Amino acid sequence: MTSWMQVKVKGLTGSLEVEPLGQNAESLAYVYAINLAKPLPKGEYLTILVDTIQLHASYPKPAYASQTDSHFRVYEADGLLLSPYETTSQRLRFKAPTPSIRSYHISHTLEDLAKEEPVVKSGATVTFGPFKSQPPTATKGFNRTPYRVSVDFEMNIPSLTVVSLNRSVEVSHWGANMNTQDDYMLRNDAPELKGQFSRLDFQMAQHARRMSPVIISAVTLQLPSGAQNPYYFDLVGNVSTSAFRPAAKPSSERAARLGPQNAQLDLKPRYPLMGGWNYTFTVGWDAPLGDSAHWDEKNGRWILAVPFMTPLPSTPVDKAEVRVILPEGATDITVHPPFDVSLMERSTHITYLDTIGRPAFTFHAENLTEVHDGLIYITYKVPLAAHLQKPLAVGIASLIVFSVMWTLKRVDMTIHK
Amino acid sequence: MTILKLPTFAPSTLTNAASLIRILALAFIAGAAISSRLFAVINFESIIHEFDPWFNYRATRVLASQGFTEFWNWFDPTAWYPLGRVVGGTIYPGLMATSGVIYNILHALHLPVDIRNVCVLLAPGFSGLTAWATYMLTKELKDESAGLLAAIFIGIAPGYISRSVAGSYDNEAIAIFLLMITFYIWIRALKDGSVLYGTLAAVFYFYMVAAWGGYAFITNMIPLHAFVLLLMGRFSHRLYSAYSAWYAVGTLASMQVPFVGFQPVLTSEHMAALGVFGLLQLVAFVETIRNLLASKQFQLMLRWFLIAAGVAGGLIIVGLTVTKTIAPWTGRFYSLWDTGYAKKYIPIIASVSEHQPTAWPAFFMDLHMLIFLFPAGVVLCFKELREEHVFVIIYSVMASYFAGVMVRLMLTLTPVVCMTAAIALSSLLDTYLNVDEPANPDANGVKETATSGAETPVDGTISKKKKKGVAAAAAAAAVTPSIATKAKGRSSAENGIFGIDTRILVIGNAIFMLVMFVLHCTWVTSTAYSSPSVVLASRRPDGSQNIIDDFREAYYWLRQNTPQDSVVMSWWDYGYQIAGMADRPTLVDNNTWNNTHIATVGKAMSSPEEISYPILRKHDVDYILVIFGGLIGYSGDDVNKFLWMVRIAQGVWPDEIKESNYFTPRGEYKVDDQASEAMKNSLMYKMSYYRFNDLFSGAPAFDRVRNQQMPKEGPKLDYIEEAFTSENWIVRIYKVKKEDPLGRDLKTAHAFDGGKRRKPSKPISRRKALAA
């Protein structure tokens, strides 16, 4: 599943514009158009680099593993590039996280196309090809099945997936605070635990420090440097096993030595996450509003920058929903998400002692990775009256209550004396 | 004659200042009551405590999210699997309704407070109201100053805090407030003979009935009060109108609660109220007749009438009881009269620790100095013996008895102790803070002592002692509350205290006791009553707090990593917690309505694997959860509760389960080498100690709760397998294996998987023969 694509000209900085054209009705291939900065003169050549990120591209094999087993995954792919053009030479290079590669496989059809040695393994890298010249493959009659390649490699890093992430960001000008709260649903995508979990084996492995790397007993979130008052809870209450390491104060010596740093939140789930296990939790923190909001004096507007998400290292997010709640009475709002989100909604959010509610924007997106941690920019105006609305409302309400009590106390309601 | 010149103020200034100070004092008392209950939130977190509150919380969430009708008709298929439970008709909904109303009001005011926080803070909030209600009631008994003392006593007395700390979201949280406010309004109704107040008392009585099973206490206290007043010859039309209004409206209202239904007219517990109601009608009738007839005729008529009415009434009640129209006393009620009853006939009631008789130290722990002031206060009530004093005397007698029978009922004793102790202490303070000295000291011969004290300072200490004795006598004489003194004016008091030193001594002593009381209450509250028991705390060697969170770890694992419909079997203590935190169906829970079902679980736990397995499969059990404290020394674990499981199972299957089989021949409860065969083979024993030996890598395993060394060979499991064990091994979850697909019994299958061959037997040789 392609989650992200970036195109560059080799040797130049800055990426080229990519325009998705959707699925081609004839060849059933998804087509993208790349707009070159200037037309390429005939006879000259240009090297274009296309980076894409694919999610859930490998699967565990075997599908079940015990607590102490090392774990292997299989990556399968087309050996030939889908292309509307003729390809004179191509090869596929696969780099595994470890040199421990159990096997690799190339189909016979593809083997015959190879110019020399069809497959070469060196260290953690497996190279398929190079292959001979090919006619355009993104055509109606092309069958990809005979051209598959696969690699069976050992995985020694956790394969975690965020099944869903709900972020809610609330801005308060009175408190000069921006509160961020994330609801995570995690799943360990390592092979499912064979049999049942044995605490004894787990504790012994932990003691001997030979715990399988795919068992997740803690995750670390990199929070913005100003983050404070973090909290971590799940459906049954506070999880007491978290540790928060705030960033060094900007004025301190350590900060000068180390440069800008993130605050870190070490989260230890209630139980170690074995393969196939789920865990849901909520984390939240406060940060000074000044760190992410800027007063644009020229236009008399606030400019707010909200991170779309706080990525976990090499962990895809299947579904994300980000909700930004602006102060009550914010008007004249413009919204700029960092990438094309699948859906954007406006709603009204009512919280403590609000009278008319706050404007809120919800962004829905799927299949995100670390590269998607861009900023949502929102600009808005808050008139002075809106700032004063809440204290006035509370003041008037209390006044009414007290005057009613005062009146009742002074009215004689006895029928006869 | 005064010992101190006080500055004088205009009377209106004094009244206004006193009223302001009273309001401020009450506000501070409510603040103290609330904040002393927050230890649990500060030390741990905002969490629902213990067992029953988890159900109440779950029910409240249903009410808050789905509305009242849905809650009223809620059938919970996950409880008492496979029977299910009609929740709406089997609970007292007052608590949930209260939280639901508060929740909705807050949300209507745009205060989006989480329902959990409403539930956690409900008990502390209502304790503030209880303090106010106690103030009002004590004010009726003596005066405002006694009321304020009673309010602060009830505010921080551990006897009440034990059931109302933040997070202890149980019926008692609001019930004590309702108890006090109902009694207060009853007293007001009686004083004024007001039908309005009588009806109001009925309304609060209805609220109480909807909130707590302990409403029977009010149902019997008010009739008893009325009856005693009758016997004392104090029948009045005030009593008649107050009681009739309360009974008629209150009974009809209480029958609207589905769980109570027709009980108020059908069960023995409620007959006293009905009887007194009838009696009052008779007496009122007789009184009316007396005014109309000549005295001789009246005498004659009265005799016959009373005999006829008495006999008829008695016959009707006996007849109805015999024909079972009126239900006889329930077992729970019998256990109030005979403390050994429950142990013999209803082990399930006896197995609950809060149903045990109270130990003596508990009185001091829960009430501190109040327990000494309590009798003094009751005696002082005899001095005046107005109607409300009679009430307090009856209340104190009844509550003292019940508190002695059941630890849990300490709760109903605490308010009356606080009131009477406040009366006693306030009388003492009134006497000793009064700046007037008696006008004529010669009259009672006190002068000598006083003057000798002044003349010979060498004997100071002795004379002070003497004086103290005299002062005590004087205090006893002057206890008739200050109204008397006030009436007589400042200068002409006959009884009183001489000198300022006695005053300082006695008042200093009283203040010292009060300070000790506050310290004691704070200490008891913070150490004994503020543990959520879902989360445990221990100290690390360096003194920092270590949170042991095994329960939530295991429950959350169940919630996240097992199918939504997997049935979990555990002992009934953990039923509500599993339903609340793990959200999984359970076989039995803390609503112990079906003894047989519980006994079934007890039997499964105490039988060997091969006998338990069919029971487990028949009940669709997927997981079994046991609590095991042997590793870290958590004493409330299932092995310690095991004998109750055996006893309850024995009650239903006396032929199959025998308690004596689980003891060693010498009658000891052992889990080590000497443990009996029944013990070692029981599912509970096996699940608790499965692979426990391996943890000690060769060294003999040691159970830190029972302080016993485990046998070298640990138990083996064939029919179930370990599914999850929490970090400190407190919660262990086992998965029940499905039947073997090859049709072998699971023991053989397991042995085969373990690589053990069956001993060569005939089938093998036959196969050889075939091959040959």
Select from A289, A225, A224 the least CA-distant residue to A252: A225
| pLDDT on residue A284 | 92
User: How many angstroms separate the CA atoms of B718 and B732, rounded?
Assistant: 16
What is the CATH T-level fold of the domain A160-391, as seen in this structure?
Immunoglobulin-like (2.60.40)
Q: How many Å lie between the alpha carbon of B31 and the closest alpha carbon of chain A?
A: 21
Mark yes or no for CB contact A236/B547 under 8 Å. no
ipTM of the complex: 0.89
pLDDT tops 90 at residue A42: no
The tens digit of pLDDT for each residue in A99-112 reads 888 888 888 888 88
Mark yes or no for CB contact B45/A238 under 8 Å. yes
Q: How many Å lie between the alpha carbon of B232 and the closest alpha carbon of chain A?
A: 33
Would an 8 Å CB–CB cutoff place B723 in contact with chain A? Answer: yes
Select from B281, B186, B295 the least CA-distant residue to B242: B186
| pLDDT on residue A260 | 66
Would an 8 Å CB–CB cutoff place A183 in contact with chain B? Answer: no
Q: How many Å lie between the alpha carbon of B505 and the closest alpha carbon of chain A?
A: 44
Q: How many Å lie between the alpha carbon of A376 and the closest alpha carbon of chain B?
A: 27
Interface residue of B562, B584, B725 to substitute, partner A, most A CBs within 10 Å? B725
Q: How many Å lie between the alpha carbon of A196 and the closest alpha carbon of chain B?
A: 5
What token pair was written down for B221?
A: 């206290």
Of B112, B556, B722, the CB nearest to A234: B556
Mark yes or no for CB contact A270/B552 under 8 Å. yes
Would an 8 Å CB–CB cutoff place A385 in contact with chain B? Answer: no
Q: How many Å lie between the alpha carbon of A187 and the closest alpha carbon of chain B?
A: 10
What token pair was written down for A196?
A: 């049942």
- So what's the architecture of B547-738 in CATH? 3-Layer(aba) Sandwich (3.40)
Select from A59, A61, A53, A121 the least CA-distant residue to A92: A121
Per the DSSP assignment, residues forming a β-bridge with B536 are: B548
Chain A residue nearest residue B728, CA to CA: A199
Rounded to 5°, angle at Cα A411 from A410 and A415: 140
Contacts of B112 in chain A (CB under 8 A): 350-352
User: How many angstroms separate the CA atoms of B389 and B435, rounded?
Assistant: 28
Phi, psi for A105 (deg, rounded to 5)? -140, 135
| pLDDT on residue B490 | 44
Phi-psi region of A267 (alpha: psi -120 to 50; beta: other; left: phi over 0): beta
| pLDDT on residue B329 | 67
**Chain B neighbours among A 184-203 (CB < 8 Å)?**
195-200, 203
Instruction: Classify residue B314 as exposed, middle or buried by CB count within 10 Å of its CB (0-12, 13-18, 19+).
Output: exposed
Percentage of residues in chain A with pLDDT exceeding 90?
A: 22
The tens digit of pLDDT for each residue in A303-316 reads 999 999 888 888 89
The tens digit of pLDDT for each residue in B305-358 reads 777 887 888 788 778 777 776 666 666 667 777 767 766 777 777 777 777 788
Would an 8 Å CB–CB cutoff place A236 in contact with chain B? Answer: yes
Mark yes or no for CB contact B560/A198 under 8 Å. no
Contacts of B554 in chain A (CB under 8 A): 271
Chain A residue nearest residue B623, CA to CA: A196
Please state the domain extents for chain A. Answer: 1-54, 71-155, 160-391
Would an 8 Å CB–CB cutoff place A13 in contact with chain B? Answer: no
Mark yes or no for CB contact B549/A241 under 8 Å. yes
Please state the domain extents for chain B. Answer: 29-330, 439-527, 547-738
Preceding peptide of A230 cis, ω within 30°: no
| pLDDT on residue B20 | 92
Would an 8 Å CB–CB cutoff place B677 in contact with chain A? Answer: no
Would an 8 Å CB–CB cutoff place A207 in contact with chain B? Answer: no
| pLDDT on residue B488 | 41
Would an 8 Å CB–CB cutoff place A235 in contact with chain B? Answer: yes
Would an 8 Å CB–CB cutoff place B553 in contact with chain A? Answer: yes
User: How many angstroms separate the CA atoms of B638 and B645, rounded?
Assistant: 9
Interface residue of A236, A350, A401 to substitute, partner B, most B CBs within 10 Å? A236
Mark yes or no for CB contact A351/B110 under 8 Å. yes
Q: How many Cβ atoms are within 10 Å of B31's Cβ, its own excluded?
A: 13
| pLDDT on residue B447 | 41
The tens digit of pLDDT for each residue in B99-110 reads 999 999 999 988
Strand extents, DSSP E, B190-243: none
| pLDDT on residue A200 | 85
Would an 8 Å CB–CB cutoff place A240 in contact with chain B? Answer: yes
Select from A8, A16, A12 the least CA-distant residue to A48: A8
Residues ≥6 apart with Cβ < 8 Å to A129: A79, A90, A91, A92, A114, A115, A118
| pLDDT on residue B263 | 85
Ranges of chain B with pLDDT below 70 = 1, 325-333, 339, 342-343, 439-494, 756-772
**Chain A neighbours among B 688-707 (CB < 8 Å)?**
691, 694-695
Per the DSSP assignment, residues forming a β-bridge with A267 are: A219
Of B110, B561, B735, the CB nearest to A278: B561
Phi, psi for B600 (deg, rounded to 5)? -60, -45
The mean pLDDT of chain A is 86
- What is the count of residue pairs from A and B with beta carbons less than 8 Å apart? 75
Interface residue of A66, A187, A196 to substitute, partner B, most B CBs within 10 Å? A196
Would an 8 Å CB–CB cutoff place B539 in contact with chain A? Answer: no
Mark yes or no for CB contact B110/A353 under 8 Å. yes
Phi, psi for A21 (deg, rounded to 5)? -105, 0
pLDDT tops 70 at residue A43: yes
Interface residue of B561, B577, B583, B724 to substitute, partner A, most A CBs within 10 Å? B561
Contacts of A353 in chain B (CB under 8 A): 109-111
The tens digit of pLDDT for each residue in A324-372 reads 999 988 888 999 998 888 888 999 998 888 888 899 999 999 888 888 8
Percentage of residues in chain A with pLDDT exceeding 70?
A: 97
Select from A189, A121, A185 the least CA-distant residue to A155: A189
